[in-house]
Amino acid sequence: MDPTDIGLWGVPLAILGGAIRVSTPFIFVSLGEAITERSGRINLGLEGTLVFGAMTAYAIAVISGSPWLGLFAAAAAGSFFGLFHGWICKFPKVNDIAIGIALMLFGSGLAFFFGKPFIQPKAPSLPAIPFGGWSDIPQVQAALDVNVLFLIGAVLSAVLWWAFRNTRAGLIVRVVGDSSDAARAMGLNPDTVCLLATGVGGAFAGIGGAYLSLYYPGSWTERISSGQGLMAVALVIFARWNPLGCFAAALLFGGAGALGPALQSVGVTQGYYLFYAAPYILTLVIMIATSSPGRSLAGAPGELSITK
Amino acid sequence: MAETVSNADVPMFGVRGYPAALERVARRAEAFVIPVAALIVGMAIFSLFILAVGKSPLQLYEVMWRGGFGSWFSIQNSLSRAAPLLLAALCVALPARLGLVVIGGEGAIVLGGVAAAAAAMAFNGAPSFIVILVMGVAGMAAGGIWIGAVGALRHYRAVNETISSLLMAYIAIALMNQLVEGPLRDPASLNKPSTQPLAEAYRIGNIPGMEVHWGIVVGIVACVLSWVLIEKTRWGFAARIAGGNVKAAQVQGLAVGPLIVGFTALAGGFAGVAGMLEVAAVQGSANASLAAGYGYTGILVAFLARHNPLAIIPVAFLLGGIEASGGLIQRRMDLPDATVLVLQGMLFIVILFSETFYGRFKAFNPDLWKRSDHLKRIA
Amino acid sequence: MTDRFMLTRRDLLKTTATGVAALGLSNALPMSRAFAAAATVGFIYVGPKDDYGYNQAHAEGAAALKGIEGISVVEEENVPETVDVQKTMESMINLDGAALIFPTSFGYFDPHMLAMCAKFPDVQFRHCGGMWDKAKHPMNAGSYFGYIGMGQYLNGVVAGHTTKSKKLGFVAAKPIPQVLLNINSFLIGARSVDPTITCQVIFTGEWSLAVKEAEATNALVDQGIDVVTCHVDSPKVVVETAAGRGAFVCGYHANQSPLAPEKYLTGAEWNWAKVYKMFVDDFVAGKPLPNFTRGGLADGFVKMSPLGPAVGEPARKQFDATLAEMMKGGFAVIKGPLKSNKGAVVATEGQAFPETAIELESMDYLVDGVVGSTA
């Protein structure tokens, strides 16, 4: 067989490659949002933060020539948006969901506004590590070109999972998220904890955006995000606020998203819209299958407005 | 804080020493003055942004006024854009009264439009009022089933409604595309795959003397009916109790399940009607333009209106006006389209932030008048 | 290209190679423009004005009018194909005094532009891609388009010489006539080099969906495809992803060679400046505007990107010869005997559809050799 002709093997390979390539923004946004939501707030504005992060990373990479500087700038910009959300929501009666939606508009608007001059230039991309060297099939090599951010995301999700259970900081975030009264009784300031948790969440979302513009698909356009930020926030609920669950959900979403193009590439050409809906259908089915009326959302932070 | 002033000592008819009418005006004025003040502050902040990028804020607001509100043409332009937002916002506001955050109204709009177009095809040839009625029912049913399912999943399987409605919106758009490019496609639609165009008789036209289609009337009526439902009926009362605390509602013997399914289905039904109106009054057929983002803008409208159906009307008009003026801002001031997004973001953040001031100003709170009089007397 | 707001951080941007020229220009423009020009021309875009693709091609055409004495150009981007576009046209007429309007997206035509034509009989509307028909449509409406399928044929010729695997790839948005003609032309061009070549198409379902376009490109390359082209609004992602995987690319809408200088073979580009100038010259001269305008390479409506460094000598020769043939006019890509990929006869022996053939604008098939489905 011609070594470049992999035929139907293209489908599982595309799902694997897609899971690795497409999932990273979902991983970062959902991990960030998991931290925020564990502290009892919800920030729906991460879509805007993601887009602004994508623009910032690209712009700084173009100007400085360094993608790492771009990544850093995106994280900084993201944390700024997060801190702003955290600060404004500490005032009584201010609705965190609504502020998030307004921030979504604001972040995207600013990104498009200041991003205009950076659509034409080309920025250097973030590096990938070739894990496919053992194989002499170019497709396998390509699928296993793993970006460093994916690896960092994988490690982070494990670290966060551990930290939520075993560290003081993790405990503080959880206590604040479950009951701000209990937290106050312990001498904690819930507002400060929420502020920091939202700031970290924003920084993660900014990094997710940097991945979009600096690695995959790797360019800055106003249509770079097709709602990944919003979807990732929703995936946190799906993952039941568990960082490892966020990682798994992101992989599932990325892999299922690769199904549509891969099937067409091997000649399954009918009904592609329905294949493209696979990630959404799959997530919905899993949610229905794993939820039950008796057990309300296990792991839901008590202070979270969206699950109250 | 204001809430700490107990309601127990508020007398039935006005605070002593102040006319009851003045008190009522003061209490009502709060809901008007605070958002307007926030709007002005938001515009002032946006002025700084415009100055920073080297343009004139005065010119910008002049252009905005002219584009969105300053003439009969502009007002009709704003109203046309507000029409779908009214119904889309109800899709968020009604479930919100039960404590549910539904963000997938876009799916109900899209499917409502497709169902209406399909119904019109099935009833082609029938008298126009029947076809329009059938389209409305089909649109409402499709949207109602879609969002009603979200409510049912929430209540009977504990599936979070925020994520399920979002997922179902994406699924609905895929379904619409598959139908419009497949079985329902009119071969003559060429480069814009669409269903068969509606016959002229089945179109919904403009309000006589106006350049605005009847959708705005439908939307306003729906808002008023929703307000009556929530504020004046026992179902609305039950919903508010269940929204406060499901357990308490169940203890009182309320049928929370049917209540949730009913409210979400009605909400989705309204969004479905929005889709039907897009088909019958604007597009003349169902196509991918049904997914124009009204469902997502509706979330913002509902939250800005604090889920009060009557407040949705002015908020949708304001949003329609801002969007109507966006074009003129691009053309007159050489600013990108994103300027309007930035403006909306800033304005809405300030307006939403202003909610923290409710009940804090003495002028609007007769309870505080009394207390301060009382304090003076002691002193 | 971009007469519009740009950042005040001009100095920062000077460090970048591209985009700087455009910036210098935009900052030199006066802050507010006089609107008392003899005629105001309106342009409406469905996406952002600078998308490295469809909308940018039109915006560049509009920008070419800005130097014309007495002509003032007003533009609006990101206008959806809803009541919004009707109100935008109306607003351009009522508030800016626009007398000639170019709504540039296909979906603007019916019902939106037609409604405005009826309402404003004194305003001229010319639409990109629509099928104006004297029997059905008013005289102040009209449509223009270019035979860009010819450009995709030439892309195919170069691709046919360049491919080693004999498998080409096409990332397409939706299965509509304009896209199907491009896919078919690309393959037929390649088959003029080697009749065993096939073309795999992937429909993304949307005009602009960056991640899906990248995934589609990857899936194509995974199948051993080594030359990729596309028909989506913004080809930037497809070009960069394909080049990143080592495949060659042919461009579309605009010249994307700066994005992949080594891998870019050539591209089918619009030359709207020519078309818009033609309309506006007639308009200024007071002549009636044509209602149905079409043109190809010979008319300068369409042009090809310069051939890239990877294009070999045989390819260059056939490219030049075919181009010369096309410049004579009447070139037929679709000619018999030809079957669709479902086996239906689309052109019998001796039958030919020259570029001007109106049937091509309602194409609903993919030709034999294309792997893909129209629905």
Going by C-alpha positions, the residue among A192, A266, A291, A293 that lies closest to residue A14 is A266
pLDDT at B365 over 90: no
User: Is A168 in CB contact (< 8 Å) with chain B?
Assistant: no
Tell me the chain A residues in contact with residue C204 when contact means C-beta distances shorter than 8 Å.
261
Are A308 and B339 in contact (CB < 8 Å)? Answer: no
Are residues C313 and C243 part of one domain?
yes
**B107–chain C nearest CA distance, Å:** 17
The proportion of chain C whose per-residue pLDDT surpasses 70, expressed as a percent, equals 90
pLDDT, average across residues C192-199: 97
Rounded to whole angstroms, how far apart are CA atoms A204 and A38? Answer: 15
Among chain C residues, the shortest Cα distance to B278 is held by C82
Say what the pLDDT of residue A96 is: 92
Residue from B106, B189, B192 whose CB has the most chain C CBs within 10 Å, to mutate: B192
Among chain B residues, the shortest Cα distance to C79 is held by B327
Residues C259-269: pLDDT tens digits?
999 999 999 99
Residue from C66, C95, C206 whose CB has the most chain B CBs within 10 Å, to mutate: C95
Residues A97-130: pLDDT tens digits?
999 999 999 999 999 999 999 998 989 999 999 8
pLDDT at B125 over 70: yes
Say what the pLDDT of residue A5 is: 66
Domain boundary among C146, C173, C200: C146
Q: Are strands C198-203 and C370-371 parallel, antiparallel or unpaired?
A: parallel
Among chain A residues, the shortest Cα distance to B336 is held by A113
Say what the pLDDT of residue A308 is: 57
Report the CATH number at residue C344.
3.40.50.2300
Domain annotation covers residue A41: yes
Say what the pLDDT of residue C255 is: 94
Note whether C329 and C298 are within 8 A (CB): yes
Helix H or strand E encompassing C127: strand C127-128
Say what the pLDDT of residue C5 is: 35
User: Is C175 in CB contact (< 8 Å) with chain B?
Assistant: yes
pLDDT, average across residues C223-228: 94
Note whether C264 and C284 are within 8 A (CB): no
pLDDT, average across residues C191-197: 97
Pairwise pLDDT comparison (B16 vs C107), residue with the higher score: C107
Number of domains in chain A: 1
Are A120 and C13 in contact (CB < 8 Å)? Answer: no
Note whether B241 and B159 are within 8 A (CB): no
Are B175 and A274 in contact (CB < 8 Å)? Answer: yes
Among chain B residues, the shortest Cα distance to A102 is held by B345
Tell me the chain B residues in contact with residue C80 when contact means C-beta distances shorter than 8 Å.
289, 292-293
pLDDT at B6 over 60: no
Tell me the chain B residues in contact with residue A97 when contact means C-beta distances shorter than 8 Å.
101, 303
Going by C-alpha positions, the residue among C96, C93, C87 that lies closest to residue C121 is C93
Are C211 and A217 in contact (CB < 8 Å)? Answer: yes
Say what the pLDDT of residue B66 is: 92
The proportion of chain B whose per-residue pLDDT surpasses 90, expressed as a percent, equals 76
Pairwise pLDDT comparison (B208 vs B246), residue with the higher score: B208
How far from B277 is each of B205, B217, B377, CA to CA, in Å? 10, 11, 62
Going by C-alpha positions, the residue among C113, C73, C33, C24 that lies closest to residue C283 is C73
Residues C17-40: pLDDT tens digits?
333 333 333 333 333 333 444 789
Tell me the chain C residues in contact with residue B67 when contact means C-beta distances shorter than 8 Å.
91, 95
Tell me the chain C residues in contact with residue A18 when contact means C-beta distances shorter than 8 Å.
215, 218
Domain annotation covers residue C249: yes
- The contacts of residue B84 (CB under 8 Å, 6+ apart) are B109, B215, B219, B274, B277, B278, B292, B294
Are residues C311 and C221 part of one domain?
yes
Tell me the chain C residues in contact with residue B200 when contact means C-beta distances shorter than 8 Å.
none
**C367–chain A nearest CA distance, Å:** 15
Rounded to whole angstroms, how far apart are CA atoms A29 and B183? Answer: 38
Are C82 and B77 in contact (CB < 8 Å)? Answer: no
**A243–chain C nearest CA distance, Å:** 24
Judge residue A227's burial from the number of C-beta atoms within 10 Å of its C-beta, 0-12 exposed, 13-18 middle, 19 or more buried: middle
Say what the pLDDT of residue B82 is: 95
The proportion of chain B whose per-residue pLDDT surpasses 70, expressed as a percent, equals 93
User: Is A283 in CB contact (< 8 Å) with chain B?
Assistant: yes
Helix H or strand E encompassing B122: helix B105-122
Say what the pLDDT of residue A17 is: 87
Tell me the chain B residues in contact with residue C79 when contact means C-beta distances shorter than 8 Å.
327
At B15, the pLDDT band (50, 70, 90 cuts) reads low
Dihedral (CA of B145, B150, B151, B153) sign: positive
Report the CATH number at residue A147.
1.10.3470
Count of Cβ atoms closer than 10 Å to residue B233 Cβ:
11
pLDDT, average across residues C216-238: 94
Count of Cβ atoms closer than 10 Å to residue B374 Cβ:
12
SS3 content of chain B, % helix, strand, coil (to 5): 75, 0, 20
Q: Could you say which residues from 51 to 110 on chain A have a Cβ atom under 8 Å away from some Cβ of chain C?
A: 62-63
- Which chains would you list as touching B if contact means 3+ CB atom pairs under 8 Å? A, C
User: Is C362 in CB contact (< 8 Å) with chain B?
Assistant: yes
Are A265 and C12 in contact (CB < 8 Å)? Answer: no
Count of Cβ atoms closer than 10 Å to residue A285 Cβ:
11
Domain annotation covers residue A300: yes
Tell me the chain A residues in contact with residue C12 when contact means C-beta distances shorter than 8 Å.
63
At B372, the pLDDT band (50, 70, 90 cuts) reads low
Q: Give C292's DSSP letter.
A: E
The proportion of chain C whose per-residue pLDDT surpasses 90, expressed as a percent, equals 82
Out of B73, B182, B278, closest to residue C375 by CB: B182
Q: What pTM was computed for the model?
A: 0.90
Say what the pLDDT of residue A120 is: 87
Tokens 């199904």 sit on residue: A259
Rounded to whole angstroms, how far apart are CA atoms B288 and B282? Answer: 13
User: Is A1 in CB contact (< 8 Å) with chain C?
Assistant: no
Residues B293-310: pLDDT tens digits?
999 999 999 999 999 999
Tell me the chain C residues in contact with residue B324 when contact means C-beta distances shorter than 8 Å.
87, 91
Out of A94, A112, A291, closest to residue B159 by CB: A291
Q: What is the residue range of C111's domain?
A: 33-146
Domain annotation covers residue A2: no
Mean pLDDT of all residues in chain C?
89
Say what the pLDDT of residue B21 is: 80
Number of domains in chain C: 2
Say what the pLDDT of residue B24 is: 81
Rounded to whole angstroms, how far apart are CA atoms B304 and B307? Answer: 8
Say what the pLDDT of residue C329 is: 84
Residues B161-187: pLDDT tens digits?
999 999 999 999 999 999 999 999 998
Are A117 and C7 in contact (CB < 8 Å)? Answer: yes
Note whether B219 and B87 are within 8 A (CB): yes
Are C18 and A121 in contact (CB < 8 Å)? Answer: yes
Domain annotation covers residue C206: yes
Interface list for chain B against chain C, based on CB atoms closer than 8 Å: 53-55, 59, 66-67, 73-74, 77, 80-81, 177, 181-182, 185, 187, 190-193, 197, 211, 213, 278, 282-284, 287, 289, 292-293, 323-324, 327-328, 330-337
Among chain A residues, the shortest Cα distance to C7 is held by A114
Are residues C133 and C205 part of one domain?
no
Rounded to whole angstroms, how far apart are CA atoms A119 and C116? Answer: 33
Q: How far apart are the first and last CA of chain A?
A: 59
How far from A304 is each of A102, A162, A194, A238, B296, CA to CA, in Å? 19, 22, 11, 15, 22
Say what the pLDDT of residue C1 is: 35
How far from B320 is each of A153, B75, B312, CA to CA, in Å? 41, 9, 12
Say what the pLDDT of residue B249 is: 79
Rounded to whole angstroms, how far apart are CA atoms C34 and B312? Answer: 39
Q: Does B193 sit behind a cis peptide bond, omega within 30 degrees of 0 on the bond before it?
A: no
Are B192 and C3 in contact (CB < 8 Å)? Answer: no
Domain annotation covers residue A1: no
Out of A238, A274, A308, closest to residue B174 by CB: A274
**A173–chain C nearest CA distance, Å:** 34
Of A12-16, A170-174, B207-211, B243-247, where does mean pLDDT reach its minimum?
Answer: B243-247
Out of B160, B164, B300, closest to residue A307 by CB: B160
pLDDT at B2 over 60: no
Are A280 and B352 in contact (CB < 8 Å)? Answer: no
Residues of chain A with pLDDT under 50: 1-3
Q: What is the residue range of A143's domain?
A: 7-307
Q: Which two tokens stand for residue B312?
A: 């949705």
Where would I find the H helices in chain C?
10-13, 20-28, 54-63, 83-96, 114-119, 148-162, 177-191, 210-222, 236-244, 272-284, 313-327
Say what the pLDDT of residue B255 is: 85
Beta pairing partners, C167: C198
Q: Does B314 sit behind a cis peptide bond, omega within 30 degrees of 0 on the bond before it?
A: no
Note whether C232 and C204 are within 8 A (CB): yes
Q: Does C337 sit behind a cis peptide bond, omega within 30 degrees of 0 on the bond before it?
A: yes
At B10, the pLDDT band (50, 70, 90 cuts) reads very low
Q: How far apart are the first and last CA of chain B?
A: 21
Q: Are strands C302-304 and C264-270 parallel, antiparallel or unpaired?
A: antiparallel
**A95–chain C nearest CA distance, Å:** 30
Are A267 and C371 in contact (CB < 8 Å)? Answer: yes
